[in-house]
Amino acid sequence: MLTNDLNFRLEPRLKEMYEQHKIRAQKIDWGYHEFLPWDKGMDFKRVPWDESQVTLPSGVITAIETALLTEVNLPWFTTYLSATFKGSLSVITDFIHTWTSEEDQHSNLLETYLLLTRSVNPKRLHELRKSVVEGGFEPDFHTPIEAMTYTTL
């Protein structure tokens, strides 16, 4: 637990900021399904993936894959953050749960987009995801601010 460095006098302000975030998020609540080109979807068994189907530049694909693979570690990040802030401010626990939910939605959007647009080899993407999760997460943080900064970036 890294809560020794946490200034508990911040709790009222953190609660206020968290409530503001929830209000703003409610106003712009979105479902990832609203942003996906469902009409491009094809069954990979019926129409096997082929590199000629890729329409995005490789740099864009790399950026999307990198963002996705970062999100794939959500179970590790959430577990780590929950343990780090166990027994601290309840608003932080609430925020961790909200943050996890929002990041999971991003992950679903990115993966589904890559598959629908056939921008990546689905088998390769599956293996990348599996490799990242199997690799685990070994944090080297010493303060709560380091943990928060890492998950923010």
Q: For tokens 């709560």, name the residue.
A: 144
The pLDDT of residue 17 is 94
Residue 38: HSE in the Cβ half-sphere, 13 Å Cα cutoff: 4
**Tokens 């329409």, located at residue:** 55
Instruction: Give domain status of residue 84, yes or no.
Output: yes
Residue 87, pLDDT score: 82
Examine residue 52 and state whether it is found in any structural domain, yes or no.
no
**Any domain includes 35:** no
What one-character DSSP code corresponds to residue 55?
-
> Is residue 66 assigned to a domain?
no
- Please indicate, yes or no, if residue 78 is contained in any of the structural domains: yes
Q: Report the pLDDT value the prediction gives residue 3, as an integer from 0 to 100.
A: 55
Surface-to-core class of residue 46, CB atoms within 10 Å of its CB (0-12 exposed, 13-18 middle, 19+ buried): exposed
Residue 118 domain-assigned (yes or no): yes
Cα dihedral 137, 141, 147, 151 in deg (nearest 10):
-40
What digits encode the pLDDT tens for the residues 108-122?
A: 999 999 999 999 999
Number of domains in the chain: 1
What are the pLDDT digits (tens) for 17-27? Answer: 999 999 998 88
**138 in a structural domain:** yes
Measured CA to CA, the distance from residue 101 to residue 96 in angstroms comes to 9
Q: Is 107 within 8 Å of 72 (Cβ atoms)?
A: yes
Q: Which residues in the chain show pLDDT less than 50?
A: 1-2
Alpha-carbon distances of 116 from 34, 59, 69, 122, rounded to whole Å? 13, 18, 17, 10
